[in-house]
Amino acid sequence: MSCRFELDHYREILAAVRSGGYTFATFDQPFEAGTVILRHDVDLSLDAALTMAELEAEEGATATYFLMTRSEFYNLDSPSGHVALAHLRELGHRVGLHAVWPHVDRDERFDSVLAWHNPDPEYMREEVDGLVNVMQPPWAEIYRSDSNQRWRQGCPHEELAGGSFERLQLLTHPEIWAYPGSTMRETMLAMLDAERARRLEQLAADRIDLS
Ligand SMILES: [Zn+2]
Ligand SMILES: [Zn+2]
């Protein structure tokens, strides 16, 4: 099995969760032994989030998607933002706030759970009034993340399949997996190509003359 950052391997990781005897859990219940919480920080692309969300729904997995209200890259208040949020809910996933320090934009779109975007160590594990902070104990005691296409402790699929985690919070970024590329740069360039095509469609829909 090759540990590429591609959807096929993400599907294999989900299969490993199941063959390791784990069940999928969310942040609104106690973090029990034998469970895996799938967390996604959506930093760049709602389309990538939806691609991953649909794959998970096919595989019977529930995840928690953390969406930004202050992103440079997407607008949750736009029509496509509304569609994305509704579709994540329809697929049975949870939606939390991916907050930019120190702003906590709580509203009814989000469950009572927060993940800071690119947090500094000083506040990363601080209590946030009325919300679960996903980096607080017990949530992040056993934790793996795919940041910039690097697993610091290796891809977790083998340990999952072998049942060696007591429980796990697994953070993955959808845009890393949804677009092709063997380096982060290649993957980001593929994302920008898709984005360009999407922008051209949006311009046409906005009655811009592209002839
Ligand atoms: Zn792997
Ligand atoms: Zn982030």
pLDDT at 1: 72
User: What is the chain's pLDDT, residue by residue, as a tens digit (211 residues)?
Assistant: 789 999 999 999 999 999 999 999 999 999 999 999 999 999 999 999 999 999 999 999 999 999 999 999 999 999 999 999 999 999 999 999 999 999 999 999 999 999 999 999 999 999 999 999 999 999 999 999 998 999 989 999 999 999 999 999 999 999 999 999 999 999 999 999 999 999 999 999 999 999 9
pLDDT at 53: 98
Helix residue spans in 59-134 (DSSP H): 79-90, 121-124
96: nearest Cα among 138, 127, 68: 68
pLDDT at 112: 98
pLDDT at 157: 98
Residues 139/155, Cβ–Cβ less than 8 Å: no
Closest ligand to 45 CA? Answer: 2
Distance in Å, CA 159 to ligand 1 centroid: 9
Closest ligand to 172 CA? Answer: 2
From CA 22, how far away is CA 145, in angstroms rounded? 18
Torsion angle, alpha carbons of 196, 177, 71, 57, to 10: 110
pLDDT at 66: 98
Residues with CB under 5 A from ligand 1 (ion): 3, 155, 157
From CA 48, how far away is CA 53, in angstroms rounded? 9
pLDDT at 127: 95
Closest ligand to 170 CA? Answer: 1
Distance in Å, CA 74 to ligand 2 centroid: 13
